Structure formats: structure tokens, C-alpha cells
Amino acid sequence: MSDLDYIFNTLLANTIKQYERREEQLQMAYKVKEVLDKNDILIAEAGTGIGKSLAYLIPAILWLKEDRRIIISTYTKTLQNQLLSSDIPLAKSVLGSPVVANVAFGGENYLCRRRFKNLLSEGAFLPFQMDELERIILWQKTTRTGLRSEAEEEGKISIWNDIGRGRNTCIGKLCKERPNCYYEYARRKTYSSQIIITNHHLFFANLSCGGKVLPKYDAVIFDEAHNLEDVATSYFGESVTNYTLTYLLREIKTKNISKIKPVLEATHDAGEDFFNSIKRKFISPSTRIKQPVDIKTDDLFQNLDTLAKILSNTEAGSEEEKADLSNLADRVKAVKTTIKRFISLKDPHSVYWIETNKNWIVLQSAPIDISDSLASTVFNGDIPVVLCSATITTHPNDFRFIKEKLGISSGTTIYLSSPFDYMNNSILYIPQDGPDPRNDRYPEFITNETEKLVKITEGRTFLLFTSYKLMDEVYTNLLYRLPDYNLLKQGETSRDILLERFRYGKRAVLLGASTFWQGVDVPGDSLISVIITRLPFDVPTDPLEEARIESLKKEERNAFLSYQLPKAILTLKQGFGRLIRKKTDYGMVAILDTRIRKKYYGKFFLSSIPQSKTASSIDEVKDFFIC
Ligand code: SF4
């Protein structure tokens, strides 16, 4: 019997009371061991219930024996917590390993003592911020972490931008507060860990700044790897907002530099003129920019140059002050460079767009295709990499989509379907007929169907949308139709509070878009029905989507079959996966978009999800729940 056989079949079984031996878990563990030993790449689709965390943790900890360091990157905080509080301690105790594991958060999550002290001493806050300030002062006296999430336990903190450690606000060794700096303390802990749990955002933030955030590592495991492309794209892009400038000018103002006031005012005015002109010209909430932006920037750029010069030339009283001023000068220059690159559409391989709402104006760019960048930085064969998720393939065993998107041209794959008995425990309901989602009757149809289904399951339902507009309309309709039900809607409060109310509330129905399709775990009787209102195709007019589709068409490829459809299939698999979270779970998934029945591509969706019983009438659904 090999080490892994013994660990999974004997040691784990002896440690966990209700441990069930799962062949798939062991198979995955062997594969992970193999790629770690061979310095290879593994893409693993591990269906719900396989126990994939232990399947990579056990071989990873065994591999760490030789004084190596491994990064485990996840998408959700929920999984990070689960790894740190339960899976890693379990794996360590089974293996008798002393390995040290810690979570690494991004610097912007920590209070910056220096900025906070400056803000207090300069009195640079507004009267309405007094309550908040008092709360932070009290919290700071007791906190050991300085973490924003801890500070916000009693409510949001609107001045975090002024007191948190910003991406480029730290002056490092020249800071007098450094010996007591929260971030530095956390960083030391991270550097002394062999397992670093982080999220995809921090992983790519580290990559985009040349590895200055995380210590050197010898292997990476990406869990929830289906989100990698989206997160990586945001880090290979750039953005600047009207508030970037406002906050920066406000911070400079607190320095009391002589003769700077008129320049600050002129820069502020020029910035307002620039962003207001943008807002007047691009009135829709999201506009893709295809031609260089013809808006005057001379005034703004001149003022930014003058400001940077003053900051660089100002005599500083101490080394700390000098570093502070130089940091501010760099940030002023960076605002100018980013705007300049944006308005001239500097990179032909990027897509540029402007987002506006009542207060915000965001200039944003992102690379259309990140596969080459990832191939040369992450999947270049330097270190072993494992990617896993329950939703990676677009058809059983078909990994082509993710490989292409992430630029993975070598390595190995493994497809492990869920051990759960979907055929006996779940039913897929697709109405025999129904209007096309673009039809005006669609919201009414969704409302009618939902009302009937929710009454059968007595609530306990997730209602998943792809559009906030439809969600709001159906919610309003249901308020009248289901007065005795506990209707919860995304946006009312935080996701965690909504989930808490859903889990423990009676007759609860949660209407959600975006975040509720994935990373939400409600095992047991609280959730027995998932209603998918529409096939989750991304909006083709979204700037990034549009640019990607155009790019594929230029290569004479079928953008729908090679990009839009596979992407939607992965999202549908995520939504479907909300229902059965443990062996004894049961229930219904309803897909109310009848294109899945009528259109040729419907079969691709259906073959990607676990096979279960099917129903095309409400009566059949009733029968399933009665039996
Ligand atoms: S070391 Fe950096 S983050 Fe820490 S207190 Fe000083 S400036 Fe702030």
C-alpha cells in the first residue's frame, strides 16, 4: 500500500468519524503528487463532493517536507476560511506535520498607522466623519490585526481610502511607524509560512508588481480556478477614476506645503473639467472607446506636472517626510500617465471603456487576450501548478476552453465527476414551452412559474438572474403573489447577512444575480430548489466581451461556439451546483429559459451538467417532492 493509499484509506478514516472513502479523491491526490514531483501542470475538474481540498492538501504537505513554500489561491473568502480553520488543521494532524499556514491579505486591507496619525493630527476630516473616527480610534486600541474587515464589523468605514495602506502610499523603511505596522507584521508571518493561502486578486497583484507582495514560492494551487481569467484580466489592465485624483489632492493638501494651494486648486478644477467633459460626452453607464478621446487635457497635464515638480522640490524636514513627498509626486505622475495612455488608446491589444454613474467616472482598460501573458508568467514550466474547480470543462473531459483562455499548452488533466447520486436525488425541470427571454411576456412567465414552484417547495429557493432589471421586476411581482414568503433580494444588505437570513428564515426565497451563482454553500433542507431564469450568456455589448468577440471573428472563428457558449456553460454549471452540496441533499433545478429545449445549442448545456431525473410539467415536479 502506498503512502497516499494508507493516508486516505486508513489515517483519514480513523480521524474523521463519518469519513467515506472516495476513489476519485485518491485519484486526484495521486495526480497532484505526480505534477508536484515532476514540476508539471495539472488541470483537475473535481465534481462537488469529491473532497478536492484534502486531495491537494495531503500531497502538497508531503511535498513541503523539503523546505519549500506553496501558494494556495482561491476566489472566495469562504474557501479560504474553510482551508485555514478546518482542512489544513485536519491534514496536518493526520500527517503529524508542523507545517505553518497563514492567510495573506492585500495591503489595502490594513490600517496604515502613519496615514491615520497624519489624518488625526492634521484634523483633515469632515464633521460627519466624527462618529466613524471615534469608532476607529476605539477599535485601534484593541486590534491586533489592523484589518479592515475587523474594523467594519460594526459598519462601513467611508474614510478607509484616507487611512488604509493604499497600493502606492507606503513609504516603507523610512516610516517611523514601521516597527508597529500591521501590514509589516502580517507580512512577516506570511514570509515565515510554508503554506500561504491567498486569493486570485492578490496572486495577480503580486505578479503585476514583479513579486514584491508575496515571498518566493515553489508551487501554486489554484482552487476555484474557473475565475482565473476574469481576475487576471483586471490586473493586467489599468484604471483611473475621478476619485483617484480627488483623494490624492486631499492628501497633498494636508501637507501644508507653502505656495501649493493655488496649484492644488488649479489641478482640482482642471481635473473636474476633464472628468465632467468625459461625463457629458459619454453619457451611457458603460461606453467602449474605439477612437482616441478628443478632450482637452493640456490644462490638467500642465497642473499635474507643476504639482509633481513642487512635491519633488519641496525641502523635507526628515527622511520620512522626504519619502512621503516623493511617494505623492510619483502618484501624481502615475495619474497623468494613466490618463494619457487611456485617451490615446496606447495599447492596440487592449480594450478601453468608460463607466459612469451619479458620482463615479472610471477610465478603464484591459487586455483582450491574456493567454500569452499567463503562458509566460504562470504556466511557463518554472514551478508546478495545479488548477482545480468543480466547473472547468465545458463537456465531460473537454478542457480545451480553459486551456486556450489561460494559455496552457502542456501538462495533464483529470476529470472526476461528482460521487453524488443526482439521478435519484434531483430533478431538472424545463417547461415544455415558454416565451423567448427577449419577449415582453418573459418577466410575467418567470413570475408565474416561480410562484408555482415556490409553493411546492415552501420557499427554500434560490432564484438566479443574469440581469438586475429582470430581478427587480420579478421581485416586485412576487411581493404581491407570495405575501407569506420571506423574499430576499441581492443588494438589500450584504451577501453574508442575506445568506444567514435565508438559511434560518422560514419560507425563504433568495433572488440573486452575479455573486449568488457561485461560491455559495447552503447544504441541507434550507435549499431544495434552484431556479435559473435565463441561460447565462454574458451581455455581448459589454466592452470586453464585444472586443473578444470581434477579435475571434477577425481570426475567422465562430465566436459563439468557441467563446460565448462555453463561457455560459461554465456559469450554468456553477448555478446548477448550488443545489446538491452533500450526499443527503435533494431537490430541483429549474431552467426556465426554454431555448435550452428549442435551440441547437441547448444540448451542449444539458450534456455539461450531472444527469438527473427530468420534468416538463409542474405536476411532475410535485410528484418528485411527494415521493
Ligand atoms: S510601513 Fe507603510 S503601511 Fe506601515 S504604517 Fe508605515 S507607511 Fe503605513
Residues 51 and 137 in one domain: no
- Is the confidence at residue 627, as pLDDT, over 80? no
Crossing angle between the packed helical segments 261-281 and 242-253, to the nearest 10 degrees: 170
Say what the pLDDT of residue 66 is.
67
Report the atom number in ligand 1 closest to the C-alpha of 115: 8
Give the separation between CA 354 and CA 399, rounded to whole angstroms: 34
Work out the percent of the chain whose per-residue pLDDT is above 70: 99
Are residues 274 and 313 located together in one domain of the fold? yes
Q: What pLDDT band is residue 158 in, cutting at 50, 70 and 90?
A: confident
Q: Which is the closest atom of ligand 1 to the Cα of 107? A: 3
320 C-alpha vs ligand 1 centroid, how far in Å? 11
Are residues 301 and 408 both part of a single domain? no
CA angle 574, 580, 582 (to 5 degrees): 125
Say if residue 476 is in the same domain as residue 593: yes
CATH number (domain holding residue 326): 1.20.120
Q: Which of 324, 309, 158, 310 is nearest to 243 (CA)?
A: 158
114 CA: nearest ligand 1 atom: 5
Q: What mean pLDDT is predicted for residues 126-140?
A: 83
pLDDT confidence band for 484 (50 / 70 / 90): very high
- Identify the pLDDT of residue 463: 97
Pairing relationship of beta strands 70-74 and 41-46 according to DSSP bridges:
unpaired
Helix (H, G, I), strand (E, B) or coil at 480: helix
Position 350 in a domain: yes
Ligand 1 centre from 171 Cα, in Å? 6
Q: Does residue 371 belong to any structural domain of this protein? A: no
Nearest atom in ligand 1 to 178's CA: 1
Report the C-alpha gap between 2 and 295 in whole angstroms.
Answer: 68
Distance from Cα 330 to the centre of ligand 1, integer Å: 17
**Closest protein CA for atom 1 of ligand 1:** 178
In this predicted structure, what is the pLDDT of residue 216?
94
The confidence band for 278, taking pLDDT boundaries of 50, 70 and 90, is very high
Q: Assess whether pLDDT exceeds 70 at residue 124.
A: no
The answer, yes or no, to whether residue 399 has pLDDT greater than 80, is: yes
Higher pLDDT, 327 or 256: 327
CA of 172 to the centre of ligand 1 (A): 6
Residue 335: partners with Cβ closer than 8 Å, 6 or more residues away:
240, 244, 245, 248, 304
pLDDT at position 169 is: 86
470 and 566 share one domain: yes
For ligand 1, the distance from its centroid to the CA atom of residue 494, given in whole angstroms, is 30
Q: Which of 110, 113, 143, 320 to mutate to test the pocket of ligand 1 (most atoms within 8 A of CB)?
A: 113
Does the pLDDT at position 395 exceed 60?
A: yes
Read out DSSP for 123-164?
Answer: T---GGGHHHHHHHHHHHHH-SS-BHHHHGGGS--TTHHHHB
222 three-state secondary structure: strand
Site to substitute for ligand 1 among 120, 147, 174, 177, most atoms within 8 A of C-beta: 177
* pLDDT exceeds cutoff 60 at 1: no
Considering only CA atoms, which of 270, 327, 275 is closest in space to residue 304? 270
Judged by DSSP in three states, 627 sits in: coil
- Do residues 475 and 605 share a domain? yes
Atom of ligand 1 nearest to the CA of 110: 3
Q: Rounded to an integer, what distance in angstroms lies between the CA atom of residue 541 and that of residue 284?
A: 12
Ligand 1 centroid – CA 1 distance (Å): 53
Question: Looking only at Cα atoms, what is the longest distance across the chain?
Answer: 81
Ordered DSSP codes for 383-434: S-EEEEES---SSTT--HHHHHHHT--SSEEEEE---S-HHHHEEEE--S--
pLDDT, tens digit (0-9, with 9 covering 90-100), for 495-547:
888 999 999 999 999 999 978 998 888 989 999 999 999 999 998 888 999 99
Say whether both 404 and 426 belong to one domain.
no
Cα distance between residue 369 and residue 352, in whole Å: 13
In this prediction, residue 285 carries a pLDDT of 83
Give the pLDDT confidence of 37-88 residue by residue, as tens digits.
999 999 999 999 999 999 999 999 999 976 799 999 999 888 998 999 999 9
Residue 292: inside a domain:
yes
Residues in the chain: 627
50 SS3 class? coil
How would you classify residue 458: left for phi > 0, otherwise alpha for psi between -120 and 50, otherwise beta? Answer: left
Amino acid 77: pLDDT = 86
Q: From the CA of 210, how far away is ligand 1's center (Å)?
A: 20
Alpha helices in 467-585 (DSSP H): 468-481, 495-504, 543-554, 559, 565-576
Question: Is 327 domain-assigned?
Answer: yes
Same domain for 515 and 598?
yes
Range of the domain at 601: 422-626
265 CA to middle of ligand 1, Å? 28
Does a structural domain hold residue 229? no
CATH number at residue 522: 3.40.50.300
> Looking at ligand 1, which residue's alpha carbon is closest to its atom 3?
112
Closest atom, ligand 1, to C-alpha of 113: 5
Closest CA to 105 of 165, 176, 22: 165
Report pLDDT for 562: 95
Number of Cβ atoms within 10 Å of the Cβ of 531:
24
Residues 490 and 426 occupy one common structural domain: yes
Task: Report residue 432: phi and psi, to 5°.
Answer: -60, -40
Same domain, 514 and 574: yes
Residue 223 lies in a domain: no
- Burial class for 274, CB neighbours closer than 10 Å (0-12, 13-18, 19+): buried
Of all atoms in ligand 1, which is nearest to the CA of residue 181?
4
The verdict on residue 405 lying in a domain is: yes
Q: How many domains does the chain have?
A: 4
Which of 58-67, 454-463, 572-581 shows the lowest mean pLDDT across its residues?
Answer: 58-67
pLDDT in tens, 371-393: 999 999 999 999 999 999 999 99
Tell how far the Cα of 351 is from the centroid of ligand 1, in angstroms: 35
Contact 615, 624 (CB under 8 A): yes
Phi-psi domain of 143 (left: phi exceeds 0; alpha: psi -120 through 50; beta: other)? beta
d(CA 479, CA 488): 10
Does residue 556 share a domain with residue 620?
yes
pLDDT reported for residue 2: 67
pLDDT surpassing 90 at residue 212: no
Residue 492 belongs to a domain: yes
Which of these ranges, 195-209, 242-256, 292-306, has the smallest mean pLDDT?
242-256
| Mean pLDDT score, 2-31 | 89
Phi, psi at 151, each rounded to 5°: -65, -30
- Average pLDDT value over all residues in the chain: 92
Cβ atoms of residues 167 and 235 within 8 Å = no
Residues in the ligand 1 pocket, defined by CB under 6 Å? 112-114, 165, 170-171, 175, 177-178, 181, 183-184
Single-letter amino acid, residue 315: E
Same domain, 405 and 499: no
Ligand 1, pocket-test mutation among 161, 165, 325, most atoms within 8 A of CB: 165
